[in-house]
A and B are shown apart, each in its own frame.
Chain A
Amino acid sequence: VTGRASSNLRRMMLANGVQPQTGRRRSTTRPADHPAQQPGSVPETGPVAGSDRAAAARVLLVDNARDTRAVTAYLAQHPARQQRCRSGRVLIRPTPAGLSLDPHVLGLDLLTALGKNPNWLRQVDPDLVWQYARAWSDALGVTEIILDRAHQVTEPVVRALAELAGPDRRLWLIWSSDRDPAPLCAGLNTELVLRQAVRSVTPDDLTAALPVLPYDPAPPYQAPTQDWRTLPTADFTTFRAACRRHLSPHRFAALDATYTAAADTTDTWCAEYHDTLTTQPEQIGGTLAAWLRDHQIGPCINPSTALITLRATQAALLPAGIVLRFDPRALGTDAARRLPGDLHNPSIISGLLAHTRTTDTAATALSLHLNQPPWVFDCWRLRHVAPDGSHLTAPETHHHRGPGHAIDRPGGGLIDRLDHLDRERALSASSNVAEIACLHPIHLPRPAWPLLAAHRAYRLAQPGVTDDDPLFTHPVTDRTPPHPGLREAINRTLLRVFHPAPWMHHDPCRQGPDIGQHPRAQGWLVQRGLSVHPLDPTVTTGLHRSPAETVDW
């Protein structure tokens, strides 16, 4: 930076305890772990190379006094919000027209920069804005915070941002004015939380430390492939043979590889739970449902792959004495499209990430993943959630009263009013397992990790909250149980992401795949037309063996 304005800026910074920028080509470096500067101490003036200088400090003042076009272009090339979060960077554009003087408004700007829908931010409690901003910054892995037009915001505003950045993130202040930044920097230097003096760097230091990421636009919408429509509709007892008969050799080879791999995985699972399968087969349903949901069928994004995997799993479970029935008649014309997990839908994930209230997003994500209302959500404590939000462990003690679907509409007699198809379905599903999600570990899809991680960070940041406190509380009050408030919050959130959920209704719904089930069942299996039927041990005793060891037919 040259010129009279820059000279004045450097002189004023020296006079106010701010280290000015030095020549970016100097070879002398300073240690990265230099001692923290004490408030009011004389700033260091030694020459420092750009990259090291940026690495050493946590708050960096980018001297852009001339408001160069290059800096504007650099910021304009900043990646879109989704990629921005993935790259650990967040660019804050302060709200103009004087509103940026308010820390609350800058908190909203930060949330907007984190990908939150600004139209929905007006419903956020003003007192909780910075708590949400910190929680989402932690969950999304933000390491670099860039504040554009920093000269237009006041010291309390920047101080709030610096406190949020803390020692784990770097804060870049784009100072695009001739105005003296020294008062701001002096105020920040007095903050013990910074542990580092505000350091002045050049725009080149910024671009060198944070190079522009290659343009990576969001992938265009791709409708789910329709190749599952050409798969045979045969039951699992003859599915593989029907594929071999009807498909081309090339396509069958690819299909059979998926089929065999899924069957082998099922064999491994059966071997792992061999004791339970042989001694207590009636208790395997919940474990099997969780495994199918989190590992076997749920993660299959392609409906065709999900259907092939399901058929192979059915075939491999039968020798173990487990009948996994798949009745697609209640699933509509696109039955296979309903097999993958709901949280694997990118539009749903992006919609949930645009919400701010962590309680709403985390509860909705769990409800979508489990296909259940929040009737067991008060069993989990904060210690049961992984810090990265990847999974929940099973609680030691439970607080839920009983399956929510056990309560039928007053008057009963539902099963008597069913037509033949529904009656058959109701009877066949009578031995279906009750999916009590909190009894087993839950593994969420990778895109949904920030949703739970943000809520965990938010809850732990609340005063007096420890690992032993409940994961969910009532969104408005602290009274327990939180079901009613969570149910309404989930319904509101689901409407915003255009994904209504039949299982979230107070009364038995006239629509949905659980029609005819008495009592109305809710869960991952039911939403996919699946039911688990352990065979009678008196019939299957002595029949458990590997298919490879069977007699030669």
Chain B
Amino acid sequence: MRPEDCEPTMTPFRCDALSVRMDPLISTKGSLATLDRTLGSALGAKLTLKSGCFTRLPTDSNPTAEIAETLGPELDRTGCGVVVPAKFGEPSTGLEHMVRRSSNRIVALQPELPIDANALLSASAVELQFFGSPFRSLQANRLARWIPRMPTEISSRGEMRKKIDAIRMLTANECVIGASIVPGSIQDDVRLLLDCGIDYIHLMADAQYAFTASEGNRRLGNPDIMLHQALAVIQDANSSTKLLLSANATTAEQLYAFIDQGAFAVSIDAYVACRIPPAPAPSTDRYASVLSYRTKSATTNQWIAESINKMFEELDDLLAYTTAR
């Protein structure tokens, strides 16, 4: 053995990373901030989530027209993806406003409902839901646990792959195809979806985003473990499939932490649901109570939009000055 082999090897000092972390005056951004936020399919379809965020609020909570009027432009301006149900358009709800204003529409297809080709027009992505709703009523579903399930008519992996190809053809290869799964056997589910040629996988760690009174105690799955398991399977398969995460993240730091752990984009729904209005308004006027038609004033909707804007600023700062591990 030569003497130089016995000397401890010195790790080179990463001055570039440290300077980015310590000196905000340097214009260089961290690697997470410069990450390409475009989801793509092999056939050229693209979905850009500029802010690294998305929301399922139109699908899960059926916002009022007043909220949609305020939230729609804000989400569109920040490049936030919006997951919408395949069937919408009741004039009494604000869903139509929000959906029409959003350029990043992700159409969610429920496993037991037929596919309407018209609903897929002008969508950026199609998301197949691999979970069932225990109740038909949206209000009742908020209190329920979603159950993993395959689409009704599919009985094998080959059929699933063929169905995904059919949906691609239905959209003339212009939509990114994704799938959303809930806690269950994550590794097996992710493996199946990778075999079927899915472009992205949406992990629903906490299905109802703390809309209910018990809030944070209703965690259905551990998002850290779900992310870790899904990433391991994706790396094992050497796939470029991205992961979207809906978890109970109520601060910008928590959202950032999930992105740092490997999520491509995170849901802002729990953050929105848990905001408390400023002093003059009663503290019960959270997003959840606004949805129950008790408050509809413009000021109530304004603070929701402002809190979202603030969250995006905080998240942007965290992404800009922190280098990915």
Query: Do A and B belong to a common assembly?
Result: no
Q: Which residues of B contact A (CB under 8 A)?
A: none
Q: Which residues of A contact B (CB under 8 A)?
A: none
